[in-house]
Amino acid sequence: MIPGTREIPTIQVLMDNKTMDDKITIIEGPPPTFEAVSESWVLGLNESPELGEIAVTRLRTFNGPALVERCHRAWRNRQPIQLEFRNSDGLQQQAPIVAVRHIETDEGHLLILWVRLTGEEVQLELGYEDDLGDGEDDDPEHPEWPS
């Protein structure tokens, strides 16, 4: 590996015959790096009953067109397809794939996956903001409330 570059995980497709769930599994390399997506077209991919965030990751593979076709076939049949990977703690995780593309490079195929990260993978910040912006909790409409 060239110093200063990021190692891209290599992937392989596995099919679990017990549950018949299609998934793309990372078999070697570091955990995938997920990057926030700011393109407006991605907003249409986030329709789900679960609160989540769309992120993109790039993976090296030997069969990019076949993996893209596998995703398209699952979606045509209205079936989900998952990215299965180990996180930095070594625990197995899955994320639904919502879009896919492959690019041919000098080193082989590069698979670009847009996934929905939900639950523990996404941290939300919830906070209280003062309505008046003066930093005080008193409310002029309700002076009887304690400060």
Q: Which residues contact 82 (CB under 8 A, 6 or more apart)?
A: 21, 22, 23, 24, 94, 95, 96, 97
Residue 16 has a pLDDT of 45
pLDDT at position 122 is: 47
Q: Which domains does the chain have, with CATH numbers?
A: 10-121 (2.40.30)
pTM for this entry = 0.68
List of residues 6+ apart from 71 with CB closer than 8 A: 24, 81, 97, 100
Mean pLDDT of the chain: 76
Q: Which of 26, 137, 4 is nearest to 87 (CA)?
A: 26
Helix then strand then coil, % of the chain, to nearest 5: 15, 40, 45
Q: What confidence score (pLDDT) does residue 121 get? A: 55
CA distance 24 to 84: 6
Q: Which residues of the chain have pLDDT under 50?
A: 1-2, 14-20, 122-130
Predicted pLDDT of residue 19: 45
The per-residue pLDDT for range 102-140, each reduced to its tens digit, is 999 988 899 999 999 876 654 433 344 445 555 555 555
